Structure 1
């Protein structure tokens, strides 16, 4: 009934309306501003509401129909979601400057299995990616700290409280303070995409938003 009402009200030539956008903290920091600026300039009568939650919770909100579209790490955990890849970058190892392996050109995760690790909070899809990657090299990391803040995580690495693996774009502003090493033992991708609920009616405002995202990030996958 809700979707029928949306469809009946979505007949005007001029695009207007309200969209709820799911934004995990890290992804929102790097991806949303550019999209919002372009979309608002082109469609000023559509309001955008940001729903800021951990990635796994955001997926659930889209699945329930409580959020129209979300930026998430893909593949999504839910099979009820339709996803589109918009960006990809590798994970890298982050070490304190005086770490014993600071002079290595590249590292395997197994070389860090005796270290204390700093991870994202378990509500972050990134946390599961990291744990799964460690399991592939037959160890479970010793988690010293977990946080929801990527900049705090890197500060903890800088202050010699542990090591971490992170998507390379997150390390760009901190490369003078820590050691950043490529991971040689496996390729761990940070795949960012947008998700909507499968078979749900897409309003003209939502279609316009998806098109803006596709136009901005086409050709930017790394």
Structure 2
């Protein structure tokens, strides 16, 4: 059902005639008459019983008028709401962020975004990268913070690149070195993130390229706990330099990991070809504004 004929019909009833309704909808009387006739033909029943110069509602007309008033009001409300959403006065932004590095990289962005768009609700979830990618594929979130490289099904905008450092107990024989390779620490137990974290896969893949399987003595999703385990002498761990620097422990030393293809590259990722609502596009624009246009997916 088209709204224009319905609005013409409602105004005819409200105004008590076709000529008065024509003035209300800024149309000619014949145009209003044709619109009402079109609505009657579409519904297959008369809506008005025309008696001389008067028009009386039929039973069907009463039902259409009653519901038509509500339909038109709902339509007007919908259009007003869409205008607010497009104007970023209302809406929601659905973000998925990994626990590692999010506070440093994204908390300042949240503050700016909130200041600019106070009417936008930010819905935040925190998972490891694998779980975030699943949520992104399912359309549960608009963006995910993820480590590169990612699959071709996603577009991405680079946020930060950082080298990895090895966290060594202070009494480890290599703790005073400026850099180490994985081969040099292969005999030391490893403390890794849980398997759902991309950094877990990055370290394991690098070890396999170096020709060995590490002795993994612990896995955790808690960053502070991993640092404490290293300080207690349980083994060694690996973190982006930026994150490690913020979590100093007197019993832990940071040594640069000199290993190819282990750089930590955090990006904002979204489904390739997906529609981005106004609130989501505003977030992406802010990321690019703060972190520069930088490298991005070729399809972007």
Matched, 1:162 2:235: yes
Task: Measure the CA separation in 2 of the matches of 1:113 and 1:200.
Answer: 43
SS at match of 2:163: strand
Q: 2:289 — aligned with what?
A: 215
CA 1:200–1:211 in 2, change beyond 3 Å: closer, same or farther? same
The correspondence of residues 62-211 of structure 1 with structure 2, limited to 5 A, is: 62-76=136-150, 78-172=151-245, 173-174=247-248, 176-186=250-260, 188-211=262-285
> d(CA) in 1 for partners of 2:187 and 2:132?
34
Q: Which has the higher helix share?
A: 2
TM-superposed CA distance for 1:107, in Å, is 1.1
Give the Cα separation in 1 of the matches to 2:189 and 2:115.
46
Deviation of the 1:82 alpha carbon: 1.0
Q: For this pair of structures, how many residues does the alignment match?
A: 215
CA distance change for structure 1 residues 52 and 97 in 2, over 3 Å: closer, same or farther? same
2:155–2:272 contact (8 Å) kept in structure 1: yes
Q: Where does the alignment leave 5 or more consecutive residues of structure 1 unmatched?
A: 1-7
Q: Which has the larger radius of gyration?
A: 2
Question: Structure 1, residues 67-122: CA drift from partner, whole Å, max 9, x if none?
Answer: 1111111222x432111111000001110000012232321110111111000000
- Give 3-state SS (helix, strand or coil) of 2:100's partner: helix
Could you tell me how far apart the structure 1 residues matched to 2:207 and 2:159 are? Answer: 26
Whether 1:24 and 2:93 are equivalent positions in the alignment is: no
Q: How far does residue 28 in structure 1 lie from its aligned partner after superposition?
A: 2.2
Contact kept in structure 1, 2:132 and 2:144, CA below 8 Å: yes
CA-based RMSD of the aligned residues comes to 2.3
2:135 is the counterpart of 1:47: no
Unaligned runs of 5+ in 2: 1-79, 296-300
CA contact (8 A) 2:101 2:243 kept: no
SS in 2 for 1:174: coil
Q: Is 2:231–2:249's contact at 8 Å kept on the other side of the alignment?
A: no
Higher-strand-fraction structure: 1
Structure 1 residue 184, shift from structure 2 partner: 2.8
TM-score, length-scaled by structure 1: 0.89
Separation (CA, whole Å) in 1 of partners of 2:82 and 2:292: 28
Cα pair 2:227 2:249 within 8 Å, conserved: no
CA distance in 2, matches of 1:187, 1:52: 26
Instruction: Check whether the contact 2:157–2:294 (CA below 8 A) recurs between aligned residues.
Output: no
Kindly report structure 1 stretches of 4+ aligned residues shifted beyond 3 Å. Answer: 8-13
Name which of structure 1's ranges 134-143 and 8-17 shifts more when overlaid on structure 2: 8-17
Q: What are the superposed Cα offsets for residues 46-74 of structure 1, whole Å, 9 maximum, x if unpaired? A: 11011111111111111111111111112
Q: Which has the higher contact order (CA 8 A, sep 6+)?
A: 1
Q: Aligned-pair distance for 1:29?
A: 2.5
